[in-house]
Chain A
Amino acid sequence: MQTVKRLYLYLMSGITLGVLAVGLRTVLLVLFDAIGLGRGDFIGGDPNADRQQLSLAAALIGVGLPVWAIHWWLAERGVRPGATHSDAERGSAVRALYLTVALAVLLTFAAAAGIELLRGVLQGILGGDSPEFLVPDAGGNLATLLVAGIAWAYHVSIRRRDMRAGPLAGAAAWLPRVYLYGAALAGILALLQSVRNLVEVIGDTLLVPAGAVREPFAGGFQAASSLSVIGVSGVIWLGHWWYAGRLVRDASWRGDSERPARLRVAYYVGVVLFAVFSVIQLSAAAISAVLVPLVGASSSFGERVTGTDMARVVGVSLVSAVPWAIAWWFHRAGLSNEATASGDPGRVTTAIRLDLHAAALVGLGFGAVGFGWLLGMAVDVLFGGNRTLGDGFWRSELAMFVPMALIGSGVWLWRWWRIQARQAANAVAEASSTVRRTYLLIILAASVIASLSSAALVLYRFFGAILGANLGGNTVAELSTPIGVLVVAGIVALYHGQVLRRDLALRAAEIPPEEATAGAAEAQRRLVLTGPPGSDLGTALADIRADLPPGYRLDEG
């Protein structure tokens, strides 16, 4: 019943907050318009349009404000100090979900408006035209930023007050953490991607591409766009990361809850995955640019690729890879340092495994795609397909997939070597690790999915030939890539399947026979012991154990 009531209160609070925010934004928009902020000079049309907008805003506020105030007051009444069940209310999953969604939505709107506002300011400084589709709306963006920003700050203060009131556990602790680390992850990824875009703009400006037809809005607009995203996403990442760091260093329950949080570890791993991906992709692009003239692909796209083009792509790719590489190093160091600081050897081992397996997974992905494509080309050449006839597109494919295959495989071998060395040193512990098993299962799943789609394409051609369907194209050329993917996916699946089987055998051999039989004979039921905030669960557990009948025991899982 309480849950249904909470769902109603927080759902209504959220909906009416949205109505109120739209009304407030319109009021601010009319105000800015009246004082001449954020619009050009009014030269014609209906001079009373503002009043129509103001009427609408007043109606939205008239409806939204009282309904929001009543529902939010009822929700807040439940968490007042001294209220009955205030701890249960403060620690409820529904309240946590509401705060998480509200914070995420408000931050998204504020960030989008902030980016547009900053872009307009920067473009005023840097100059350059805007694309036709982009409508300047400084007043609207400022209004959105103010309304969403203030509402976001209010909800942050509510969450911080809830945390100050005492320990929070379960969904009340981890759901808002999804927001905290999700915002930090989105912030750093947008920041790094925009740095990459900015480097591209600088590269295109310094080393103009051969035969380039540049849009009139290139340069100033693109630089202003990248810089505005860098500014806003940088603030979002730094702000959230700084706050998360403060929580970790907190001496109270907040620090105890934050330090071992899996979502914090997931954030680290997420950044490492994206960083490894980008470093491999950009390095491969740099080598590909060098290979283009070597394999005779300079004229593949109709335009002759010049030395300037090559220098630009190599320079831009390598410079763009540096921030990603720093992020990779910074986050794997953070993951490792925090595990070491915890003093828990299990956490240290898990951190090492996560770091190694994340890089190995991405490297294998690139290597498999590269080799699959190259093998397809080899099949085409060997069996008389027409993909490599003429001096066309295949040379570009060669220049693109060779570095991908080599760098991806190199990264995989580099990490897999260490993974296997650790496995050789402590076979059972590594075989039993969840990280290793997850890694192997992801690879098997990806291989099966890739094999399925490729096999379907091969069968489509096969049945088409049997049934006399006119499928068009050169059969060998059409089948070459699916066959390449099928073979590489098969090899990857076979190898990793063998590894998984060996791991399972090791684990099975390690379980003592008496444990296995005892486990089968004994009846078990898993229970969760929950106490009020600050309670001594150890003492309570000892009391329960003392009262158990003969033959019963209570183990901690």
Chain B
Amino acid sequence: MTSSRSIVLIGAGILALLVLVVAVVLVAGSREPQRYPPGSPQGVVQRYLAAWDSRDTSAAYAFFSTRVKAAWSEADYRAATDEYDTYGRLPDGSARRVFIDEVTGGSSRVTVRLTVEELIGEGLNTSVYRSTRTIALVRQGADWRIDEPLLWLDPGPYPGPM
């Protein structure tokens, strides 16, 4: 095969791949979040995140365990979320996605391991930053509750209430 032909073939292959991926993404549409049963640890984390995203502080606070609530009043939590919203928010144009990697533990305590993907920057300066979080959940009655102070998925303010 001549070098010119091989370069043309490489270019054609790359363009074909690009077209294929664009088609797959368009056909597949936006990736909808996986729906978990509300009573499962994953479902609790998912509903907590949904409450946070909709800025429903009371609903988000309700997902904490009694141990966390005893050390962190709702008023303090609300003040901390306001502060977090001011200083902890990502720059405009960024996007976050949260994935559940695994859930480990027993019948009374579990740890949910998450991967957070953040698009930082704009235009050609965009880069993807990936990080992990682990969240401890404890069983209280029939429900799972988050057993650590969180602001979104970050640890609560320092000095923390716990």
Contact = CB atoms under 8 A, between A and B. Distances in A.
Nearest to A140: B130
Interface stretch (A68-76, A338-346, A412-420, A534-542): A68-76
B56 interface: no
B97 A34 contact: no
Interface residues of B, number: 49
Contact of B100 (A41, A47, A54, A72): A41
Contacts of B34: 41-43
B46 A50 contact: no
Contact of A134 (B21, B36, B104, B132): B132
A285 interface: no
A66 B11 CA distance: 8
Contacts of B3: 73, 76-77, 79-80
A84 to B, nearest CB: 16
Interface stretch (B23-31, B61-69, B77-85, B143-151): B23-31
A446 interface: no
Given A24-B17, A43-B99, A52-B95, A33 B31 contact: yes
Interface residues of A, number: 49
Given A47-B32, A56-B123, A65-B15, 20 more contacts: A27-B21, A34-B21, A34-B28, A40-B114, A42-B98, A42-B99, A43-B36, A44-B98, A45-B95, A47-B31, A49-B117, A49-B119, A50-B25, A54-B25, A65-B14, A69-B11, A73-B7, A76-B4, A80-B3, A133-B132
Contacts of B50: 44
A181 B30 CA distance: 48
B154 interface: no
B96 A46 contact: yes
Interface string B27-59: 010111110100000100110011001000000
Contacts of A527: none
Interface string B4-23: 10010011001101101110
B74 interface: no
Interface of B: 2-4, 7, 10-11, 14-15, 17-18, 20-22, 24-25, 28, 30-34, 36, 42, 45-46, 49-50, 53, 95-102, 104, 114-115, 117, 119, 123-124, 126, 128, 130-132, 134
B130 A135 contact: yes
Contact of A49 (B10, B17, B95): B95
A309 interface: no
A47 B117 CA distance: 12
A136 B99 CA distance: 11
Q: Shortest 9 CB-CB distances between A and B: which pairs? A: A46-B95, A76-B3, A45-B97, A40-B99, A41-B34, A47-B30, A40-B101, A44-B49, A49-B95
Contacts of B102: 40
